Amino acid sequence: MSAVPGSPQGVSAVPGPDADGRPFVVVVGPPGSGKSTIGKLLARRLELGFADTDAVIVERIGRPIADMFTTDGEDVFRVLEREVVAEQLRAGHGVLALGGGSVLADATRELLREHRVVALDVNVADGMRRTGMSTARPLLAGVNPRATFRMLLDARAALYREVATVQVDTSRRSPNQVVASVLAALGAAPAEEPDASPDAPDPLDRPTARDDALLPNPGLGAPRPSDAS
């Protein structure tokens, strides 16, 4: 496998964590972009292990992230998130997905300069459909979640671009199509995108097609209550 254009110096071109425990690829993006779904599927295709920093946080605190936002506040959560991200970036994972707001931290963005990062993009309509305006996402709570989501996308767009080695749009695309684009960008597969249809028997071949449609999550089949950031 050839090196990905723009990859940080020293990052291994061979799928798998490197000698320093850095993952082969880090996945970032806003809520609803499909970080966990795409990360799991990408890890499966590359035959690598997968980890999610939000899931690590939930296991560590023993409660949903939304509860931590409510009882302890966002600032307390962000401190813990920075610590967990720094730890997991050297934990020997193959593919690592970060929480949507992790790029807000200067320290995290600095660490990501040493990593191959795939930033997933999503438009407002698909992001809202996939999140379903879930109460498990406190940052989208309020009287106008769509406006809040649009502001969140606008505020973070430059940060995702800053850390990205490659950017891939997930809007109106199936998980299999997105993963095919990611693998092609990483030089791990030809640039051939599979067909997608709302009626495809495999849910991973279905694009977001309805207002209540959620991005399929391999092995789970439902949005994660932990994904609040």
Q: What is the DSSP string of 100-143?
A: TTGGGSHHHHHHHTTS-EEEEE--HHHHHHHHTT-TT-GGG-SS
**Cβ neighbourhood burial of 75 (10 Å; 0-12, 13-18, 19+):** exposed
| Inter-residue contact 183 to 45 (CB < 8 Å) | yes
Domains of the chain: 25-205 (3.40.50.300)
Who has greater pLDDT, 176 or 145? 176
pLDDT tens digits for range 118-143:
999 998 888 877 776 554 555 555 55
Q: What pLDDT was estimated at residue 146?
A: 79
Answer whether residue 210 shows pLDDT above 90.
no
* pTM of the model as a whole: 0.80
What are the backbone dihedrals phi and psi of residue 172, each rounded to the nearest 5 degrees, phi first?
A: 60, 25
Mean pLDDT confidence for 33-52: 94
If residue 56 lies in a helix (H) or strand (E), which one and from where to where?
helix 53-61
Q: What pLDDT was estimated at residue 129?
A: 78
pLDDT tens digits for range 87-104:
999 999 999 999 999 999
Answer whether residue 161 shows pLDDT above 90.
yes
pLDDT tens digits for range 74-89:
999 999 999 999 999 9
The tokens describing 154, both together, are 């606008």
Answer whether residue 209 shows pLDDT above 70.
no
